[in-house]
Structure 1
Amino acid sequence: MTGTELDTVVEAELVDDNDRLPAVPAHVDINDTLTDEAAEDLANSGRENTRQTYEDQWKAFARWCAANGRIPGPPTTSKNLASYISHLRRKDAPPGTLRLAITSVRHMNARAGHEDTPDTAAALKIYQDHRYAWAASGKGQRSSAPIDLERLRQMLTVCSPGTLAGQRNRVLLLLGYYIRGRASELAALRISDLEFVSASLVVVHKRVSKNDKSSDGREYEVDDPDTLAALRAWLTSLKEAGQADPSLPLLRSVDMWGNLGPANASGQGLTRQAINNLVKSIAKTAEVDVADAVTAHGLRAGVPTDLGAAEYSAAEIKDITGDWASTEMVERYRKVGLRRAGKRTDEGRRASALSMLRINAAPDGDGRTDQS
């Protein structure tokens, strides 16, 4: 008998009959079941914001199932998923909504111990057809317009430094730009995440970032005088309100009477959705040219857009910021920046050749346009 087998026998002999675990039905292999602890860990797996998104999508799917006499599961059937995706398509929901619904249903099944469930082939066919039709109709997938320095300055003009809400909004916008912060990352900031290392430099610690390969977070050195002044004014106001404990959230809700709101059950002063709504509202109040296309994510896109306008390459911007895993998204921002600066996005011989073509220029003797 091996040591493992002996240990099993001894443990079995020490269990009192009254303390035995409920018998597992003979047709169920215990090796294919989860312990209660594992089921709980899976149910709480993933980052909180992502988990909440999946849960919200699942609830919408479950409501649709209930309204149509279907059972959502888990396990979810492939036909229920395909039927729900068809429902979303006929409502003309954006393709991204369909894709997120598929991912969410699949994720929630996995969290319940049903890996690779349901089969998504039929749902994906409907999604792909809808995505093609959506693009062909000219709708496309809208992304947030970048909030570059020009737009940022315009938005700051409507954030009065003389009010609590204005002070909070200035901090939100400036940090969002300089630390390339997502709404969820801004919502997670604590007062202790700010370290004033000198009169002209603050280090902002982003404790959790989507692209981080470790849990160490990231640090951003900010030396913009306006940002430092905005942070100091806001921290002074928090201290006067007795809300400056380092463990408290940095960004807080402010009611219509100028009172600070409490942190929520998750320890946040503002949720990511509240931050998104604030950025949208500020953009509209400031009458930014792309106000209808602005979201909080536009703050994250600001720096690469401005660096693109300064003719840095996508690879250089990626290296300078360290905030993107690939140059694909950076290249999009680079092009936006160049075009806002009135510059072509192509480079080298191609740009020179195409830029020499002018209506009012006469060709010289060798057939090339004379630009002199």
Structure 2
Amino acid sequence: MAGLEQVPQHHVVPHDVVLPDTQRRIAEALSPNTERAYRRVAADFDAWCRSNDRAPLPCSPATLADYVAHLCDEGKAPKSIQQAIAAISTLHRRAGHPKGTPDSQAALLVLRGHKKALAAAGKGNKQAPPITVSVLQKMVARTPADTLAGKRDRLVLVLGMALAGRRSELAALDIDDVQPDGDGGIDILIRASKTDQDAVGEVVNVPAGANPDTNAVQLLHDYLAALAERGVTSGRLLRAVSKLDKLFRYERLSGAAINEIVRRAAVRTQLPNAAQYTAHSLRAGFATQAALDGVPLGHWARHGRWNPTSPVPHGYVRAAEKKTHNPLKKMGL
């Protein structure tokens, strides 16, 4: 072809293969948690393909469907299987394959059957119970206020709800991310989130609370003062604390540790099914409380950084309306 020099065949790179340096740049664009999840899925899928004489990349729709059936047989949760399907699809796109490779229609039908079987057996998907304001107040009241760990845990509980925070967002906070807003409240910078993959960042305003036990501004002040007494005035906000209430100076709380803080508080408060409570209970509680209180969906969804096209916020509204607009309330039963 005119204008193009003929390249010897052995120097030609396939048009659908992404070079190693490009793969590295793609990986760096993802959050560390997402990248770890993709690596885990890739390793598991590759091992299964090798043991079953299948090609992992690109894989056929039949291979993906069979792998999903394998995950179902292993008793994996539907959400985990859905994430595996999405990760495998993303790994294909990262490798330069067209969007929609592999076709996941058959795999999703296998997953649907798995969900139906679990539901029929009474093992359907169990959501983390929401922590509404009244429940949050009880949990904070049962959390010690005179220890470093207690001050941190009280802040985790209240900030988790006030920010509608994902556990990854809470774990990523630095002290400098929290600033006074000039009106008695605080502005908190969320550097990146699930719906902000470009890490543009978003500032969330948290006003002072009316209840002393759930006033995020005062709880933050108490916790920062305790850190300052130990010589810490910058760096990570939520830190690991030993059983002797000693600070692990260089350790940031993990998402799993934040889950455990919420679970322990639920156990202390003797909540029903306490073991089911997680950090997501705080985020779900924010949405549930806002929906029950009639706050416009657009306002609280924006505050909580929900994707406006997601069906999730509407699900909280429908659940709340089952109580607020229950027709039985007008029937005199």
> TM-score normalised by the shorter chain: which range applies?
0.7 to 0.9
Query: TM-score, normalising length from structure 2?
Result: 0.83
TM-score (structure 1 length as normaliser): 0.76
Instruction: Identify the match of residue 140 of structure 1 among 124, 128, 137.
Output: 124
The 5-angstrom pairing of residues 123-134 of structure 1 reads 123-134=107-118
1:155-175 Cα deviation digits (max 9, x unpaired): 112321211111111111111
- Unaligned 5+ residue runs, structure 2? none
| Other-structure match for 2:84 | 101
Distance in 2 between the 1:124 and 1:334 partners? 27
User: Residue type of the partner of 1:345?
Assistant: H
Residues 72 and 238 from structure 1, CA distance in 2 versus in 1: closer, same or farther, beyond 3 angstroms? farther
Aligned pair count reads 326
Paired amino acid for 2:228: K
Structure 1's 83 and 205: CA in aligned 2 closer, same or farther, altered over 3 A?
Answer: same
Encode CA deviations 1:41-87: one digit per residue, 9 max, x unaligned: 12334222222222222333334445x35466333444443322111
Which of 7, 13, 35 in structure 2 is aligned with 1:51?
Answer: 35
Alignment of 1:31-42 (within 5 A): 31-42=15-26
- Which amino acid in structure 2 is aligned with residue 295 of structure 1? T
Aligned to 1:357: 331
Question: Do residues 256 (structure 1) and 243 (structure 2) align?
Answer: yes
Partner Cα separation in structure 1 for residue 283 and residue 27 of structure 2: 31
Which residue in 1 is equivalent to 2:219?
230
User: 2:143 is paired with a residue of what secondary structure?
Assistant: coil
Report Cα offsets for 1:75-107 as digits up to 9, x if no partner: 344444332211121233222222112112222
1:25 aligns with 2:10: yes
Stretch deviating more after TM superposition (114-123 or 158-167): 114-123
Per the alignment, residue 289 of structure 1 pairs with: 272
Aligned-residue CA RMSD (Å)? 3.2
Q: After the TM superposition, which of the residue ranges 154-163 and 116-125 deviates more from structure 2? A: 116-125
Cα distance in 2 for partners of 1:308, 1:338 equals 8
Does the 8 Å CA contact 1:305/1:335 hold for their aligned counterparts?
no
Label 1:223 to 1:45 Cα distance change in 2 as closer, same or farther (>3 A).
same
Residue aligning to 1:219: 204
- The answer to whether the 8 Å contact 1:194/1:203 transfers is yes
Say if 2:253 is the partner of 1:279.
no
Cα deviation, 1:266-322, whole Å, max 9, x if unaligned, reads: xxx112222122212221222123423321111112233223333445456447767
What are the superposed Cα offsets for residues 306-363 of structure 1, whole Å, 9 maximum, x if unpaired? 2333344545644776755158433433455566xxx4435xxxx4xx544345xxxx
Residue 306 of structure 2 contacts residue 313 of structure 2 at CA under 8 Å; is this kept in 1? Answer: no
Tell me which of 159, 183, 192 is aligned to 2:167.
183
Alignment of 1:316-335 (within 5 A): 317-318=300-301, 323=306, 325-326=308-309, 328-334=311-317
Contact 1:207–1:217, Cα closer than 8 Å, also in 2: yes
In structure 2, do the counterparts of structure 1 residues 198 and 32 end up closer, same or farther at CA, with 3 Å as the change threshold?
closer
> Which residue is equivalent to 2:188?
204
| 1:345 aligns to 2:332 (yes or no) | no
1:183 CA displacement = 0.4
* Counterparts of 2:302 and 2:107, CA distance in 1: 39
Instruction: State the match for 1:18 in structure 2.
Output: none
User: Residues of 2 paired with 1:167 and 1:213: CA distance?
Assistant: 31
Rg comparison, structure with higher value: 1
